[in-house]
Amino acid sequence: MRKLLCYLTAVLVLCTVGMGTLFGQLSGVTHELYATDGVPGYNTYRIYAELQDATDFLSAVYAAGNDEVVLGGSGNSIYNDGFGATTGDGLNTGFCMFVPTLCYDSFVTIGWVGGNYWDDATAIACGQATTTIASLPNASVITTAFGAAPSSNLVMQDGSWFTTNLAGCNDNGFGFGANNRVLVAQVTIPSSDDVMYNLNMQIFNEGVGANALFYVGDCQTVNGDDLAGDDGDGVMELDNDGSGLGLSYPALNSCGGVDGCTDSTACNYDSTATNDDGSCTFPGCNDPEANNYDANAGCDGPWLCEFDCLTTCAADITVPFGTDVNDTTITGSPSLSGCPSLDQSLFLFYVDLTDGDGCDMVITRLWFFADCNGCDDPNIGGECTQIITFSCSEGCTDSAACNYDSTAQIDNGSCTYPGCMDSTACNYDMNAGCDSGSCDFSCYGCTDTAACNFDSNASVEDGSCDYSCLGCLDQTACNFDSTATQDDGSCDYSCYGCTDSTACNFDSGATIDDGSCNFNCIGCTDSAACNYDSTATQEDGSCVYPGCTDVNACNFDSTAGCDDNSCSYPGCIDTTACNYDMNAGCADNSCIYPGCMDQAACNYDPSAGCDDGSCSFPGCTDVNACNFDSTAGCDDDSCTYPGCTDGMACNYDMSAGCDDGSCTFPGCTDSTAINYDPNAGCDDDSCQYGVDGCTDVNACNFNSAATNDDGSCTYPGCMDQVACNFDPTAGCDDGSCEYGSGSGFNGTYAAGNWTVVEEGDASVTINDDSMVLVSNDNGTSGLFAQATIVCPANGAYSFDWDYSNFDVDGASYDPAYYINGVLVQLTDDLGADTQSGSVVLNCVSGDEIGFAIQATDGIFGSGILTITNFTYPGACDCSVTCPEGADLECGADTSADALGSPVVQGDCAADVASIEYADSEEGDACAYTITRTWTITYVDGSSEVCEQVINITDTTGPELIGVPADLEVDCLEEVPAQAMIDAEDACNAVVNIGNYSSETGNATDSCTLSTAFGPGDDWAIWLPTLVVDGYASSVSWVFEGDASMIMYDDNTAEINGVIVNSMDANKKFQVTMKFENGMGWDDWSALGRNYKDDLNIADGYYQDWQYYEMV
């Protein structure tokens, strides 16, 4: 270690400044990159305190005095998650699966991440919460920096986050893992930024609060560079000054602050700089006569100049260690002009640089001197270097040691001491330097407790154990030893046994018979036999075996020695029988079989032994019946059939078993009534006939009581004939009238057309764009300046006005605008002397309008009224509006009275001589277009033309006339002949009337028909005799919505619905189609006919279809 020893100038007094010594319980403060893009575009770092011992306790991270806390990134930006927390123990890590960014929140902590240590997996069994407190720069500095919103770096001058040292429940403050880490913060910053931190810490040595150690830190960046102006070692420094305050650390400036020269000894030292940028320049000798003249010196340092005055420096010396070397000196050279001598007011000092410690110490002494008085050149001085080397002898300085060295000055730890040096001795000392004669050998002997000569005091086995006294002391044992004195448990009795060779248990190795011979070993030795003898060792052929021993069983075994439960007995062995016996061994003809056992069933079987669920019961077996029972086995005459089951219907059928949807109900059958019901089956005298009138709520003449619109509705519009948009058809005025306009005092409103009155000194001046009225100024009241004109047309007039006056009474009584002799004051009597405004007024043709001004006294000058932006009604642009076209049914009124005529507006309306039209038609009787050409002729012979298009379509079918009422006849009565009927069509088209008759039986089924979408004839109706507008193709007519189909038991059917022309949706008909000769596929195909399946839906179902011919 290098220590800087500094000496004060002018006196030879030595002072030593010691730098911080590294010791204590903090190994270091480190950081690691925890995650990249946990929050997209951000890096997450974790910062740890690494403790020296597992018993050390991190109590707090603090800022106090000059020791600031700085935590964040080089871009001064910290990410905080909206669901996060200020402290690690407040973080709900279980929520991270729902909010993935939560676990990359920034926070401070003492050990905690949620409820775990920094490994995110090991739970902290018992710990204390992380507490935050702060006062500078404010009380919320921590909670703001690590709150729920992004923030800037934490910079704190006074505050802390800490945990309490509660014994037994403070796990979070102790180190965890191999390096005894304690997590102190997690920060998430933009990926482009470096992490930075300057953290001061309080640690309890060995967990004892009284042993508190305080540490202050260097500001670190992600690559470990020192940014603070300290000793540059890049590690934490122990605060040795005893105050608990560390190195001075300005907020943020120590990490990316102000660049400049930070060396106070430099010429350009900058007291505001926090980052040294290498720009420092230092004093030098600016004297060209000096030996060390420096032309590049930053500033003059005359005391640094070296001259030849100093010819003899104190010689380099080597002295014994401990020698006082403060009395060395130098001599001057008086032979040089101007050089000082040592007895002349010499300003002399030196600086020692010390290397090494102890015997290897070397002092480099730098001498400096200068003449302070009496010299011709006060800057003359000099310097030299003296090397002082210390020598010393090292050795053992303890006189009790074997190798004591009386000449040694420094003990080098080499002392050795007396002891037993015999390696075979019990008390051998391997570190002994000389033998002390104390060797002891009493620990040797026999250490085996089983030996005859066991020595309980011996600790080292010497191989002397004797075992000759051991043996078997039992006289009955085979190996009895009469010479043994100690029984060793070796007695052997294996020589006893049965010595009779004829015995079952003869022992050929036995020499002494013990009476155990056994002769009962003969018997059955087969373990499968009934009479197996487990004690027998010799087979005697007596074995008998198991079998069925019951003489009634199918498998009786007369040779069986014992029953093995294998007997099987007679029974029914037919698996289809009711009484099948799976355990029967043979048949006994007892089988009985399943059948229907219900006497009420159609297929009751009196011989059945069990019911097989095949019973079928009486019911309705007619598939056309309402109550058809597909499970019925025989018909019981209970069938009921479809019909109308509603007692309120016109065609109620009391015998119907189910409703077939054929019910028709009473209603108004008169098509001219307002409540006409086309679906009514019979008339109930409910027809109502309405009130004619306008039914449109938007019309001027809407009649809420009207039920029949008679076309009388009139609508709002402009009713002013002089308006440009006058609407002659309007029934009420809607305020939409528009008028022509002009501006300025020109034309009809030129200066010569106004009637001007100028009383007294009053005056009126009219220009193209303004009118100025000036009142008199002679002190006489009631005198006017006035201009009027008669309105030539109806409409709106507007103007802007400005007024100023000098009357004592201000704006009272004047100015005003004039209409039909009435003055309307423009100004406010209580207002200022200068006022302005805008006015819009309506004028009817013939009204007189104008402007006037009078002064109440005019003593102090005239009043002045200025009229600008004057606008007035003007001529309307001439326009012709043709009536709108129309889409009408056949037979509708197409007259001009019904459909309107052109409207001529503007000044030309009065010049219309005539309005006429001519029609042209295109199309046929049921669909045609009328093009109506209107011609407007003016009195001067000119004309205008416009067109009105009227489309006529037929969407209503012909109406049959003379259709007879429905009849009911008895079965024996003759059905009346077909009546002759007529028809008429609104468009006077030719109507073809056809008729047919059909007889139907009971309805067997009904269904709903829908239009199929796809190509082919099978999705349309073939109507070869119905030709409308040239369309008779089978692909031309499809169902509109759903139709109904009823099938009858006499193989007839009927379809009711609306069909529409697929080429023109306006062509549609309500149809009833009759079908006959219904048959199944076999009969149909026998006639050489096939089925249609353009939609590929037949599959195999076509065999189940019913095929009909249209009547």
160, with CB counted inside 10 A (0-12, 13-18, 19+), is buried
- DSSP states along 230-278: S----S-EE--SSSS--S---TTTTTT--EE---TTSTT--TT--EE-S
CB-based contact 715:701 (threshold 8 Å): no
Domain shared by 222 and 129, yes or no: yes
Domain shared by 749 and 864, yes or no: yes
What's the one-letter identity of residue 629? D
pLDDT tier at 856, thresholds 50, 70, 90:
low
CA geometry: angle at 1085 spanning 1084 and 1091, to 5°? 85
Average pLDDT of the residues in 77-101: 89
999, with CB counted inside 10 A (0-12, 13-18, 19+), is exposed
Instruction: Specify whether the backbone of 599 is left (phi greater than 0), alpha (psi in -120 to 50) or beta.
Output: alpha
Domain shared by 313 and 235, yes or no: no
Evaluate if residue 307 carries a pLDDT over 70.
Answer: no
In a domain, 144, yes or no: yes
Tell how strand 903-905 and strand 879-881 pair up. Answer: antiparallel
Query: Could you report the per-residue pLDDT of 883-919, keeping only the tens digit for each?
Result: 988 888 887 888 988 888 888 876 677 678 999 999 9
Higher pLDDT, 169 or 1100: 169
In a domain, 400, yes or no: no
DSSP-assigned letter for residue 385: E
Instruction: Return all residues near 496 (Cβ < 8 A) that are at least 6 apart.
Output: 478, 510, 512, 513, 514
CATH number, domain with residue 909: 2.60.40
> At 1086, phi and psi to the nearest 5?
-65, -20
pLDDT tier at 1037, thresholds 50, 70, 90:
low
Instruction: Specify whether the backbone of 952 is left (phi greater than 0), alpha (psi in -120 to 50) or beta.
Output: beta
- The pLDDT of residue 226: 38
Domain boundary among 391, 426, 442: 391
Which of 1064-1077 are b and which e, b meaning 16 or more Cβ less than 10 Å from the residue's Cβ?
eeebbbebebebbe
Domain boundary among 579, 596, 616: 616
Domain shared by 941 and 1021, yes or no: no
First to last CA, the chain: 126
Query: Could you report the per-residue pLDDT of 998-1010, keeping only the tens digit for each?
Result: 666 676 777 776 6
Of 157-166, 316-325, 477-486, 755-764, give the lowest mean pLDDT range. Answer: 316-325
Tell how strand 486-487 and strand 496-497 pair up. Answer: unpaired
Evaluate if residue 367 carries a pLDDT over 90.
Answer: no
Q: What mean pLDDT is reported for the chain?
A: 78
Higher pLDDT, 249 or 642: 642
89: helix, strand or coil: helix
Omega before 190 within 30 of 0, i.e. cis: no
Average pLDDT of the residues in 580-588: 86
- The pLDDT of residue 850: 92
Query: Could you report the per-residue pLDDT of 909-942, keeping only the tens digit for each?
Result: 767 899 999 999 898 767 889 999 999 998 888 8
C-alpha 342/C-alpha 371 separation (Å) is 9
Domain shared by 200 and 122, yes or no: yes
Domain shared by 98 and 236, yes or no: yes
Domain shared by 112 and 157, yes or no: yes
Evaluate if residue 396 carries a pLDDT over 80.
Answer: yes
848, with CB counted inside 10 A (0-12, 13-18, 19+), is middle
Domain shared by 861 and 897, yes or no: no
- The pLDDT of residue 949: 94
CATH number, domain with residue 857: 2.60.120.200
In a domain, 304, yes or no: yes
Query: Could you report the per-residue pLDDT of 520-560, keeping only the tens digit for each?
Result: 787 888 888 988 888 887 787 889 889 998 888 888 888 88
Domain shared by 762 and 866, yes or no: yes
What pTM did the predictor assign?
0.28
Q: How many C-alpha atoms does 162 have within 13 Å on its Cβ side? A: 17
Query: Could you report the per-residue pLDDT of 1041-1083, keeping only the tens digit for each?
Result: 677 888 888 888 888 888 777 666 667 777 788 888 888 888 8
CB-based contact 50:184 (threshold 8 Å): no
Q: Which structure tokens are listed for 1007?
A: 């269904």
Convert 759-826 into a string of H (helix), E (strand) and C (coil): CCCCEEEECCCEEEEECCCCCCCCCEEEEEEECCCCEEEEEEEEEECCCCCCCCCCCEEEECCEEEEC
Q: Which structure tokens are listed for 992?
A: 């073809």
Residue 825: Cβ within 10 Å count = 14
pLDDT tier at 1023, thresholds 50, 70, 90:
very low
Query: Could you report the per-residue pLDDT of 99-110, keeping only the tens digit for each?
Result: 889 899 999 999
In a domain, 729, yes or no: no
Of 569-583, 692-706, 860-874, give the lowest mean pLDDT range. Answer: 860-874
- The pLDDT of residue 555: 87
Instruction: Return all residues near 262 (Cβ < 8 A) that are at least 6 apart.
Output: 229, 269, 270, 273, 274, 275, 276, 280
In a domain, 566, yes or no: yes
926: helix, strand or coil: coil
DSSP-assigned letter for residue 483: T
Of 206-220, 496-510, 831-845, 1075-1089, give the lowest mean pLDDT range. Answer: 206-220
Give the total residue count for the chain.
Answer: 1111
- The pLDDT of residue 97: 82
Evaluate if residue 185 carries a pLDDT over 90.
Answer: yes
C-alpha 309/C-alpha 377 separation (Å) is 12
C-alpha 278/C-alpha 427 separation (Å) is 68
Q: How many C-alpha atoms does 780 have within 13 Å on its Cβ side? A: 8
What's the one-letter identity of residue 1083? D
In a domain, 837, yes or no: yes
Q: What percent of the chain has pLDDT over 70?
A: 78
- Residue 756 β-bridge partners: 787
Domain shared by 1032 and 1101, yes or no: yes
Given the structure tokens 């007889």, which residue do they identify? 999
Helix, strand, coil fractions of the chain, as percent rounded to 5: 5, 35, 60
DSSP-assigned letter for residue 52: S
C-alpha 1067/C-alpha 19 separation (Å) is 110
- DSSP states along 522-557: EE---TTSTT--TT--EE-S----EE---TTSTT--
Higher pLDDT, 33 or 1038: 33
Domain shared by 825 and 967, yes or no: no
Per the structure, the complete domain to which residue 771 belongs is given by 740-874
Domain boundary among 343, 364, 391: 391
C-alpha 63/C-alpha 68 separation (Å) is 5
Which of 682-721 are b and which e, b meaning 16 or more Cβ less than 10 Å from the residue's Cβ?
eeeeebeeeeebbbeeebbeebeebeeeeeebebbbbbbe
pLDDT tier at 1, thresholds 50, 70, 90:
very low
Average pLDDT of the residues in 223-245: 36
Domain shared by 63 and 172, yes or no: yes
H/E run at residue 382: strand 381-391
Q: How many C-alpha atoms does 589 have within 13 Å on its Cβ side? A: 0
CA geometry: angle at 784 spanning 780 and 790, to 5°? 170
C-alpha 109/C-alpha 161 separation (Å) is 7
Query: Could you report the per-residue pLDDT of 714-753, keeping only the tens digit for each?
Result: 999 988 766 777 788 888 988 888 766 778 888 778 888 8
CB-based contact 557:567 (threshold 8 Å): no
Q: In what order do the strands lie in the sheet with 107-108?
A: 26-36, 42-51, 181-190, 107-108
- Residue 523 β-bridge partners: 539
Give the CA distances from residue 276 to residues 193, 233, 501, 774, in Å, rounded to whole numbers and listed in that order: 21, 16, 115, 83
Structural domain total, the chain:
6
700: helix, strand or coil: coil
- The pLDDT of residue 357: 63
In a domain, 537, yes or no: no
Higher pLDDT, 302 or 234: 302
Q: Which structure tokens are listed for 1018?
A: 């099978």
- The pLDDT of residue 384: 67
Query: Could you report the per-residue pLDDT of 406-425, keeping only the tens digit for each?
Result: 888 778 888 999 999 888 88
pLDDT tier at 17, thresholds 50, 70, 90:
very low
- The pLDDT of residue 366: 67
Whose CA is closest to 197, among 106, 328, 103? Answer: 106
Of 130-134, 367-371, 478-482, give the lowest mean pLDDT range. Answer: 367-371
> At 210, phi and psi to the nearest 5?
-70, -15
CA geometry: angle at 782 spanning 781 and 786, to 5°? 125
Average pLDDT of the residues in 128-150: 90
436, with CB counted inside 10 A (0-12, 13-18, 19+), is middle
In a domain, 95, yes or no: yes
